Amino acid sequence: MTLPAWSGSTPPDAIFLAHGIFMQSLYNHSDWDFWARWYRGMWDGTFRDWDLATEAALIPNEVWEGEDAVAKVAEAIREIEARLLIDRLPQVEEVFEDAGGRYDVRTTGFDSNRLIDSIENRVRFTLDLAVRSNACDLNEMSTAAKVLRHALDNCLDDPNAVEQFLRRASDMIRARMADGSFANDDELDMLVATLDELALQLRADHPDVAQAVDARASQRFKELDTAQRLAGAQLIEDLREGTTGRLDAELGLATETLRDGSSDTANADALKQSGNRAGKISLAERAKAAESSGPMAGLKIGLRAHKVVDFVLGLISSGPM
């Protein structure tokens, strides 16, 4: 199975020609996509996805029958591929909103490439808008613009660097707006809001970035004084009002842990976990606000989530994370 079909020899011309024609016929129809990959892999000795092949072979007989059998089998294989992809991806937490408008948490697969692609597209779009604006004074020679171009052109394979450059550029632009060097216009506001949101999304959703943030934060979280610990507990308790299920229960445990205060390590873990989840809720609420959707009650949980995020980031550094 690991060798080409014609290992050590050359296939006769007639067979090689037939092989090429057959492969072309498979590639011409999307419903034969899996079979094209399977056949080519068997010919070359490179097919390795035996989990997928086994599950394809076990598709029930009735799916293979009838005039529309090809389309039905193709759809069944696509469903298997999607499920296997989720199973193979790194497992991360997803905070989601239930039918009643309350947030809960579950484990899901994570595709880092898709997240980075989305971030690249959004930053390029909002940066180009701001640079082309005639009102805000940001241009390609601005340090903030150079930082962002560097992140987009050279650092997409390093999510920690991307997160740090997004924050750095946002801080620079805010400072320029504050001292009047940059005029405050819609395009620049949109760029800053996008940079802040995407940096938050990387911290909340990308395992590598979240791990790096945790490493920077651990010692500072262990140095909490009593007032900070109790303040954090109250903010997390307030956030519970808009949650349900597992998330509600675990935020409650984080609150109890901080109020108990007997273990510095436990306090740090409770704050890191709660801050990460608050960040995801904040992102979801920002998206709803951008779409002008969701009940007015959503504003309350969005503000409470933002307060938890601000509190946690304030403990980590004197400036925004």
Res. 321 pLDDT band, cuts 50 70 90: very low
Angle at Cα 301 formed by Cα 209 and Cα 216, nearest 5°?
25
pTM of the model: 0.52
Instruction: Give the model confidence (pLDDT) of 291-316 as tens digits.
Output: 554 444 445 788 888 888 888 877 76
Q: For residues 180-196, give the mean pLDDT.
A: 86
Type of residue at 295: P
How many Cα atoms sit within 13 Å of 42 on the Cβ side? 9
Provide the pLDDT for residue 49. 83
pLDDT beyond 90 at 270: no
224 closest CA partner among 157, 270, 178: 270
Mean pLDDT of the chain: 82
Q: CA distances (Å), 82 to each of 35, 110, 312, in order? A: 16, 12, 36
- Compute the distance between CA of residue 77 and CA of residue 180 in angstroms, rounded to an integer: 58
Radius of gyration over every alpha carbon of the chain, rounded to an integer in angstroms: 26
- Compute the distance between CA of residue 201 and CA of residue 286 in angstroms, rounded to an integer: 11
Provide the pLDDT for residue 65. 93
Provide the pLDDT for residue 88. 57
